[in-house]
Each structure stands twice: as C-alpha cells, then as structure tokens.
Amino acid sequence: MADENFEPKIVGFLCQWCSYTGADLAGTSRIQYPSTLRTVRVMCSGRVDPTFVVKALAEGADGVLIAGCHPGDCHYNEGNYRAMRRYPMLLQLLDQFGIERDRVRLEWVSASEGEKFAQVVEEMTEKLKELGPLNWKERSADYCGVA
Amino acid sequence: MISLTIDGRKIKVEKGTSVLEAARAAGIHIPTLCHHESLPPYGACRFCIVEVTQRGRTKLATSCTLPAAETMEVATRTEKVMKIRRILAEMMLARCPHSEPVIKLATEMGVEKSRFSTPRAAQSCLVGEHGECILCGMCVRLCDNVMKVGALAFEGRGGYRTITTPFHEPSDVCRLCGACESICPTGSIRQAKISDRQPQAIPFEFEQGLTSRKPIYLQFPQAVPRVPVIDPDNCMHFKTEGCKICEDNCEAGAIDHAGKDEIREFNVGAIVLATGFDVFDSREIPRYGYGRLPNVVSALEFERLCHASGPTGGKIFTSQGKVPESVGIIHCVGSRDKNHQEYCSRVCCMYSLKFAHLVKEKTGAEVTNFYIDMRSFGKGYEEFYKRVLSEDVNFVRGKVAEVTNVARSPEEEGKLVVVAEDTLLGLVRRIPMDMVILSVGLKPGADTEELNQVFSLARSADGFFAEKHPKLAPVDTASDGIFLAGACQGPKDIPDSVAQGAAASAGALSLIDKGSIVLEPIRAQIEADLCGGCQICVANCPFTAIEYNPEKGISEVHEELCKGCGTCVAGCPTGAAQQENFEDRQIFSEVEGLLS
C-alpha cells in the first residue's frame, strides 16, 4: 500500500540507562532522523510487558520498538535477558493476530550509540512505509466479522 | 571409693580400678609387657605379678586383671615376686633374644642372659623377617575388642602357640588399618602377611598428595580453629563401629563420633564472600608431562617441597632423591592462553621469581625461567626481579612447546628436555633439566556454580564473581549487602586480598552503622490479594529481592533489596506485581497519550 504521504507512528519503549540515553545522545548530537518515534521511558527493557506492545498497536501505532542495553551490560544484570525471552513469544502472538513481524523490533542500543539509534529508527520507518499503516480497527473487525 | 594398701601405702581408688592402675596412679612401678591402657587386660606376660593378702590369705596374682578390693594388701617387690619376674625374663629372653622391649625389661630385672634355649617352632607366620612375637596378644585384643574386626587370633598351646589368621589364609575381613602394626611392642607383626590386599594411603590434600595422612588430621598448620578433623570416609569407626581410640584417649573429651552435621540458620544483614580460588590442573596440557613424567611438579607441589614444614623439610630433591642441578620454571601455565584461561593470573610471575630465588639459594642449580612478559607490578616487585636477574638466573622469553624425556643427544639422556622458543634470540631451544616447575594460574573455585545459585550473583567473562563496577565498586555486588573479597572476585595476591577484605568489611559495617536503609522510590510491590503464588516473579528478579512465603502462599518483595527494574512486573500473569511510578496503567496512559 504505497501512500506517499504515509508517516508511520512508532512507539518506542526505551530503557532508562542505555537506550533512552542513547536516543538522547542522538538528539544532542543533532543527528537527523525521522520524527516517527514516540518514546515511553521504562527503567529496564525487562519492564516491557508484551501487553504494552499490543496496547500500542491497538491504540494506533504502526510499529513498536523495544530497546535495551546490550546483553551482559544490563544495568539490572539480567533484565534485558528477560526481554529477549519474551520477544519470541510476542512474535508468535503477532502471527496469531496476523500482524507482520517486522512491525515489532527488539534492539540493543547502548548509551553511546546515538548513531545506531538514529539508524534503527530510520530503517524501521522505511520498513513501515513499505508495509503501510497497520489499520488495527479494520483488521480486527475483519477477524470478528463485525462491520 | 575403695581403700587398699600397696607396698605399705594407703591408696584410695574408684571401684573397678585394677591393682595395676591403682599402683601406677600412686606412682608405684610395676613392669608390664602385654598391658596397654586402650586394651582390655589380658594377663599374658605375667610380669605384673604381685603378692596379694586378703582375709589372712596370701596369693600371687597378675595385678592387671585383679580388681582393687577393700582392705586388700598388695606387695609389689617381695623376694618371691622378683624371683618369678626374673625367671619370666629369662624365658622371654630365650624366646625373643633380639626383641628390644624384652631386653629392656630383662635388664631392669637384672637378667643379662638366659639359661634356656630358643624353642624351634616359636614364631608366628604373621611376623616379618627379623621379627619376634612375644605373644602379648595386644594385636589380637586390638583387632577384636577395639577395632571390632577380629582378623587375628591365638592358635595352639604351649611352645606351639602362635598368632594367625583363620586357616592361615590371607584374611577376608582385615581392614588394612595397620593398628596391629602400630601397637606391636616388638614391631614384629606385618600387615602384608595378614591380608594380600594393598592398603591405600590417604593423600594429604594440603601437601598436594606428596605425603599421606591419617583419617584424623589437622588440615593445615594455620587452620582456624586449630583442631583436628575426622574424615568419615576413612575413619575405622564408621566402617566397623569399633576403634574410637582417639575419642577414648582425648583428655578434654573433645571428640564425639556420634556428632552429626548441623545446618544452622542465621539472620544476617550483610554477607562477605571470600571463597577463594582453585589452581589450574596441568593435566589439561598433556604436552608438559605433568602426571606422566617424574620431576614435573606444579607450583603448589613445589611450594610444599621447598617449605620448611613440608614433606622434605624444605630441602629440594628430585623424585630420585638427588639435588637437582638444573631447574626450569615455566610461566603462564593455563593463563593468557586462549585454549584454557585467557586472563593473566597476576600472581604467577612473582611466585616464579620467588621459586627461582629459592632454588638458586638452596641448591645452586642452573635455573631458567620461561616467560612471556614479566609482571612485577607491586611494591618492591620490580626490585626483586632485578635482584633475581643479578643472581644469575636465566630468563628465556618464549612459550614452552613441550617438556619431553625423549633424548636427542647424549646431554639429554635421563633428563627432562624443555623445548621452547627463545624470541629474543630468534631460536627454538632444547634445554635439558633435572626438574620442571609449572607456574599454574588461578581459576574460579569448584564451588563457584553452586555459590552463584545460592547468592544469585553475576559472573564476569573469566568466571570469577562479578563486582558491581570494575573501577568504582570492586567489592560490592549488584545485590546490596553481599560483598566480595579476595580471589573469588579475580586472581590477586595477598596485599590486594587483604585490602579487599578490609574494604568489604567496611562496606558491611557501613550498612550496619547507618541504622537505616534508603529505599528505591520506584520499587516493585505485590498486591497480596491478586497474587496466585506462581513465583514467576521470584525467578525473574535479578537481585533475589522477591521471596515466596509458603505460609501465605504468595510472593513478597523485600523492599530493601528491590532495585526498581520492573522485570517482575512484566512477567506477572495476574497484575499483582506493580512498579511504583511505572505501573501498567500509567504506561498504558502514556501510550494512549502518545497516539491520540
């Protein structure tokens, strides 16, 4: 669905210590990247409940980014490993909903990786432009057979 | 108490005491040959004979088997008694002319030689060469009554009386404890003749297996508390329910074989982990010949060899008992090696230099250290290195490829050849040595995995426990209240370990001292009514801050430990767990706001 004016909405759940700070660095470094991302700060990527992702998609997001510290560097030791474990289950859930897996991404961004953060948002935006808007309400209406 | 008279002296003793024991307690000497305080009395040798007068009647009796009785009158040195003892001595001397205890006793009696001739069929078949059994029966009594095994017994009568095993066959029941050998007063009996199985020495762990130990032993000279321990796997009491010689002889009554391991629970607010390290096992590098070639020793073994309290009293010998003329010291065994441990073990260069210095000092041998870099980082360390250089110790910079005993030239015959690259000379060298010391590295202790589970600690890539921050918090861990000290956190030497110990104690003290704990404002809380007791949160928490309460059937957060990461909240299936200021509904609100 190639609507040239389509600007995807991405909700990003960023962990306070690494990825949020990394995003901050992208800002202070004046790196240009699409303004499609809206952030929710959590203390740790392990805080991200898969229901947050579903909520975001249901509320109108076209894609969700979960970003945390690199494995081994989690500020809380193991929180990001929990996020890593929940992610495949989340993807299976998306399959069941018929939502494209590419819409939800798990990335590791450290506090010094401003460039990487910008790049991730860039890539995700491009991908979502290709995939088009999620249209949750229409899709769920199709499933339920409700007009 | 019983009153009796011995040699005119009035003596009071407990009921059940023998006349011999009563006399000895009063300082009156009665000679014995077959008596031992740990064994039941036997009356075999008859040397302890005394004259006893009771109710007007006088008779001869062995004082070891005679219980003290009220109004008894005992004479230990009458003419009759002395004459009997002298004849006994002559008879004993005839039977065992070379036996030391017999000769000693005979001399005491004033007997120099015997009028009797040595009988022919006298000796026990269990006696070794040059041994002389005096038929005191101590071995039999010990094996039967004390050790509760009963592998030996008397056989025959008169001149043909002997000590043997059933049917003169090697014993099936002998436990190879060696008690008979140790108690035999003439040193005659040989365990090897009782059983044809080989006794296995218990390797002494502290001496790195260079010597053996008994089942009861002191673990090492500096043990705290400095009391012996009993190894229940090897102690005879646990095999036969006999022995307990140590317990019976302990004057302080400090030994209790019935003692059981106790598990005690302590409520503490701070823990310091100082669980130490293990040493690299050189058998993982077979080409160095450890465990295969003689005279290839690991650093800890060599430490015992050159230590004054070690098995050789500090003298350095090869396994053939000679003083080595050439010694090689190989650095970095198992360390700085991508096939084993990648890290540097920190202490080995310095202890290798120490060994080089000691070997030079004690033996004057040609010493060569094979090193990669010389890490002499501490106070006075570089100066010590310079000193060792000036003592004519050779240094070859290069990894050692192998240690072999296959000689390629006459000088290498019968020697260990160290094959190493000498990078400074640009050659591969073969250097023959009498002894090779492997400077093994330090690695995490064998119990690290278990401790990891119990204390929920993180480990760094090298396998040692992870500190909270490598520069700024080297003794803290991610869990508040648990501190690390010493080599369990990483290889280090004594000054650094001591410093860490002090730091960890200070950390613990500061917690105790403060009197209050600052709580994380964004910590997790569990609503008791909603909690189903699934314990998913317990497993999720990286800080073991959540504990399941079996009485209530719910999990509870220890708020002083919670760091506020929220991982438990995300995993909770009922929503009972919530994080202050980061509740699910708050985040949902944020998402709604972002997308409105």
Predicted confidence (pLDDT) per residue in A44-54, tens digit: 999 999 999 99
B2 phi/psi in degrees, rounded to 5: -115, 135
Query: A9 in contact with B at a CB cutoff of 8 Å?
Result: yes
* Architecture per CATH, B269-517: 3-Layer(bba) Sandwich (3.50)
CA-based nearest residue in chain B for residue A43 = B565
Mean pLDDT for chain B overall: 91
Q: What local confidence, expressed as pLDDT, does residue B131 receive?
A: 63
Query: For the residues B371-376, what does the mean pLDDT come to?
Result: 96
Query: A49 in contact with B at a CB cutoff of 8 Å?
Result: yes
Residue B122 pLDDT exceeds 70: no
Query: For the residues B177-190, what does the mean pLDDT come to?
Result: 84
Distance CA B459, CA B489 (A): 9
Residues on chain B touching A60 (C-beta within 8 angstroms): 595
Query: B254 in contact with A at a CB cutoff of 8 Å?
Result: no
Assembly ipTM: 0.91
Share of chain B above pLDDT 90, in %: 65
CA distance A46 to chain B (A): 5
The SS3 assignment for B528 reads: coil
CA-based nearest residue in chain A for residue B581 = A42
Question: In this structure, is the dihedral angle defined by the CA atoms of residues B351, B357, B361 and B365, taken in order, positive or negative?
Answer: positive
Domains B138-194 and B524-595 are alike in CATH topology: yes
Q: What local confidence, expressed as pLDDT, does residue B30 receive?
A: 92
Residue B116 pLDDT exceeds 70: yes
Residue B453 pLDDT exceeds 90: no
Q: What local confidence, expressed as pLDDT, does residue A144 receive?
A: 65
Asked which of B5-9, B384-388, B589-593 is least confident by mean pLDDT, the reply is B5-9
Residues on chain B touching A51 (C-beta within 8 angstroms): 584
Residue B543 pLDDT exceeds 90: no
Cβ pair B352, B320 in contact under 8 A: no
Q: What local confidence, expressed as pLDDT, does residue B459 receive?
A: 87
The DSSP result for A2-33, as a single string, is: --TT----EEEEEETTTHHHHHHHHHHTT---
Domain boundaries, chain A: 10-144
Q: What local confidence, expressed as pLDDT, does residue B196 receive?
A: 86
Output the six-digit token pair for B371. Answer: 């090193």
CA-based nearest residue in chain A for residue B590 = A40
Pick from A47, A50, A78: CB nearest B582? A47
Query: A85 in contact with B at a CB cutoff of 8 Å?
Result: no
Q: What CATH number was assigned to the domain covering residues B138-194?
A: 3.30.70.20
The residue among B114, B138, B116 whose CA lies nearest residue B38 is: B138
A:B CB pairs within 8 Å: 80
Query: B595 in contact with A at a CB cutoff of 8 Å?
Result: yes
Q: How distant, in Å, are the alpha carbons of B19, B20, B70, B80, B340 from that of B26?
A: 11, 10, 16, 23, 68
Residues A79, B567: C-beta atoms closer than 8 Å: yes
Q: What local confidence, expressed as pLDDT, does residue B501 receive?
A: 97
Interface test with B, best of A77, A85, A86 (most B CBs within 10 A): A77
Which has more confidence, B524 or B96? B524
Distance CA B477, CA B72 (A): 76
Q: What local confidence, expressed as pLDDT, does residue B504 receive?
A: 97
Residues A47, B543: C-beta atoms closer than 8 Å: no
| Class (C level, CATH) for B524-595 | alpha beta
Q: What local confidence, expressed as pLDDT, does residue B120 receive?
A: 64
Query: For the residues B443-460, what does the mean pLDDT come to?
Result: 89
Predicted confidence (pLDDT) per residue in B273-331, tens digit: 999 999 999 999 999 999 999 999 999 999 999 999 899 999 999 999 999 999 999 99
pLDDT tier, B399 (very low <50, low <70, confident <90, very high otherwise):
very high
CA-based nearest residue in chain B for residue A50 = B570
Q: What CATH number was assigned to the domain covering residues A10-144?
A: 3.40.50
Query: A37 in contact with B at a CB cutoff of 8 Å?
Result: no
Residues A38, B564: C-beta atoms closer than 8 Å: no
Which residues of chain A are modeled with pLDDT < 50?
A: 1, 147
Q: What local confidence, expressed as pLDDT, does residue B183 receive?
A: 87
B466 phi/psi in degrees, rounded to 5: -85, 130
Residues B584, A79: C-beta atoms closer than 8 Å: no
Q: What CATH number was assigned to the domain covering residues B2-109?
A: 3.10.20.740
Output the six-digit token pair for B56. Answer: 């007007």
Query: B452 in contact with A at a CB cutoff of 8 Å?
Result: no
Q: What angle do CA B568, B571, B577 make, to 5 degrees?
A: 50
Predicted confidence (pLDDT) per residue in B21-66, tens digit: 999 988 999 999 888 888 888 888 899 999 999 988 999 999 999 9
Domain boundaries, chain B: 2-109, 138-194, 202-249, 269-517, 524-595
Distance CA B197, CA B176 (A): 8
Q: What local confidence, expressed as pLDDT, does residue B133 receive?
A: 81
pLDDT tier, B102 (very low <50, low <70, confident <90, very high otherwise):
confident
